[in-house]
Amino acid sequence: MNNNNSRRKFLQQSAMAGAAVVASPLNTFSATNSEIIGEVEEGILDVTKNIKTKGYAATDESGELSPWEFERRPVGDDDILIDINFASICHSDIHQEKGHWGEQEYPQVPGHEIVGVVAAVGKNVTKFKVGDRVGVGCMVDSCMECSTCKAGEEQFCERGQTKFTYGAPSKAEPTGITQGGYSDKLVVRDHFAVHIPDNISFEEAAPLLCAGITTYSPLMRAQFKVGDKVGVAGIGGLGHLAVRIAVSKGAKVYAFTTSEDKVEDIKSWGVEEVIVVDDEFKNMQAYNKTLDYMISTIPYQFNVAAYVMCLKPGGTFTFVGMPEKSEITLNNLMLAFACVNFNSSLIGGIPETQEVVNYCADNGIKPSIEIINAEEINEAWDKVVNKKARYRYVIDAATF
């Protein structure tokens, strides 16, 4: 049986299983029911055993990715198996695989903007059924018991048990670490997946699982008012969504970019003004003490003070970009003169991730994307680093 026919048969049987789930009074089925799962010799997955998976992995700090076949853990009682449709490329993938944030274990499959269809569920799962559209972002587990996790801020687990989507030590995984979404399948604890509404495409939803939540969360905490002046520094994968979200909330958005060829794109998103930042930052002086709030998505070292000075005294600057070594250089005297509130933000919890997906779907906030095949990943990474992405590359998982 060839791969296409095998995949088709699996999906057909999964759909039949989904119908059985709906009919069941318990609205769930056991991952140990081989009659529902199908026979391995017929090319159907047995989810009680390790799941054979195809993807692209980094094998060292060169950041060059290549095809890799590996195994994921079996589907547990609280897990779902996702047949991945698309996974998008985040600059964080590049930083991590190149060891910019610390030494890594390889081979490692990156990717934390993942969307697809539920192919199987564990016996305790009620949040999803086979056939549901789902997405997974930056984390795949936590203690689930501490007050922070129970409050829906699983990324800040008080026990330090937040498990990120790739590269995190995991005894449950056959490879010893979590492996990300540049692959065709994913096994994940059901709590850490979100529903993808029918009114947004899979490929447009994928970037919302990191870029969307990473910008939405601090923008919502800022509680800016309609008409407030909001700056967005760095107009890439994260920044272009920050612009669109802030505009949709009624802000007057000032977009700061070093790429002059992005100006017309940015204007089309409804901004108040686009500022092309020059090498000396002189053209930013005209915006001194102008903005109420600013979010920076810049993933490199840069002159933070030049941007901070654009804020009014008492304004807030939020840093979501993560440079190499996760370090930034600040001029404390300039911060003192600016008299601003300076903070950083990570991602958001699972409830807020569902919130941003729903919000963007309902309000037509869609990322600008380019769909690529797996063999184009390395080229796409180079373009991201060289600021050539417009604005999120989305990988077709059928090409793994």
Q: Exposed/middle/buried for 5, CB within 10 Å: 0-12, 13-18, 19+? A: exposed
Q: Exposed/middle/buried for 99, CB within 10 Å: 0-12, 13-18, 19+? A: middle
Digit-coded pLDDT (tens) for 241-279:
999 999 999 999 999 999 999 999 999 999 999 999 998
Give the Cα separation of 346 and 300 in Å (integer).
Answer: 16
Give the Cα separation of 290 and 230 in Å (integer).
Answer: 9
For residue 43, the model assigns a pLDDT of 52
Distances (CA, A) of 88 to 110, 299, 314, 384, 393: 10, 17, 37, 12, 6
Give the Cα separation of 74 and 72 in Å (integer).
Answer: 7
Q: Which residues of the chain have a pLDDT value below 50?
A: 1-42
Residue environment code for 352-367, b if the CB has 16+ CB neighbours within 10 A, otherwise e = bbbbbbbbbbeeebbb
For residue 207, the model assigns a pLDDT of 98
Give start and end residues of each alpha helix (H) in the chain.
Answer: 3-23, 34-37, 91-97, 147-150, 202-205, 211-222, 237-248, 263-267, 304-308, 332-338, 350-362, 377-385
Digit-coded pLDDT (tens) for 27-54:
333 344 333 333 333 457 799 999 999 9
Q: Which residues contact 295 (CB under 8 A, 6 or more apart)?
A: 215, 218, 219, 222, 230, 231, 232, 233, 242, 317, 318, 320
